[in-house]
Amino acid sequence: MTKIFAYAIREDEKPFLKEWEDAHKDVEVEYTDKLLTPETAALAKGADGVVVYQQLDYTAETLQALADNGITKMSLRNVGVDNIDMAKAKELGFQITNVPVYSPDAIAEHAAIQAARILRQDKRMDEKVARHDLRWAPTIGREVRDQVVGVVGTGHIGQVFMKIMEGFGAKVIAYDIFKNPELEKKGYYVDSLDDLYKQADVISLHVPDVPANVHMINDKSIAEMKQDVVIVNVSRGPLVDTDAIIRGLDSGKVFGYVMDVYEGEVGVFNEDWEGKEFPDARLADLIARPNVLVTPHTAFYTTHAVRNMVVKAFDNNLELVEGKEAETPVKVEG
């Protein structure tokens, strides 16, 4: 019987794992809540493939430990593959899959909701109401329909975000080095990032963490933006120079900042710091600001998305194990 072993299974994933098991009675499924490490690789011994999800690196030692247990078929329940030692994976003959699209709507909705909350100064108003200050002024909001919304990156998520913001009545402009032909026909694209920065009241990032995009939001780009700009990053932490954002907020140039990702998030996000010394002064500063909305990389985190991540990852792994072509293979290049 085919056997698949899964790592780091959370409580919220278990109903969808059972759903997949029930639909595949001829496959034995075992799992643990532990992350995949060189030490835990032995838990998968006897399996034909593994399904994984973690922020830890898939190091050469981890991959070797899996291979030593006879496993070279690995399916990620997430998108990112930058934490895999690809040279070692290639050397060992690994086949790898990911889930590149699990719910663009989840992430785009989160970006749109948080941007609208910043414009309406919801955090300031919530804080006033909590202390029983029920006066309106001076906490006045801005309507989404009055904004020019600049979208950087027009892939799956960016396009859903554009539709949502247009639903509010906003004017939407976009920039992408890879232009979508349909969007280009409709005249969404501006010629350069500088053009977008100069025109947009709200700027939302929907691009990958590649070297060319690291710190694309910096002192220089913020200086080019409109006064009272709102910046939204639900994509990848390294896209934004955190110190530059803080300077922009301090100067008043940046009206508000939405962040679901952070350039130093590993080891800080997805941890409970209540009653403990908080390890990051910059992040603490941002969390405390009334015009910054921080969520700990949860834009994706919906029941719809989690189901897709689990089901698609197991589908992929079964295809690998059965020698079929997986739907979403990752190119293993060292």
**Active site residues per annotation:** 236, 265, 297
Task: Tell me the H-state helices in 30-74.
Answer: 60-68
List beta partners, residue 292. 257
Rounded to a whole number of angstroms, the distance between the first and last alpha carbons of the chain is 33
CB 243 within 8 A of CB 282: yes
- Per the structure block, which two tokens stand in for 260? 């679901």
- For 238-264, the DSSP string reads GGB-HHHHHHHHHHTSEEEEEES--TT
CA atoms within 13 A on the CB side of 264: 11
Report cis status (omega within 30 of 0) of the bond before 138.
yes
Give 140's contacts (C-beta < 8 A, 6+ positions apart).
121
Q: What are the tokens at 115?
A: 């941007």
DSSP 3-state of 173: strand
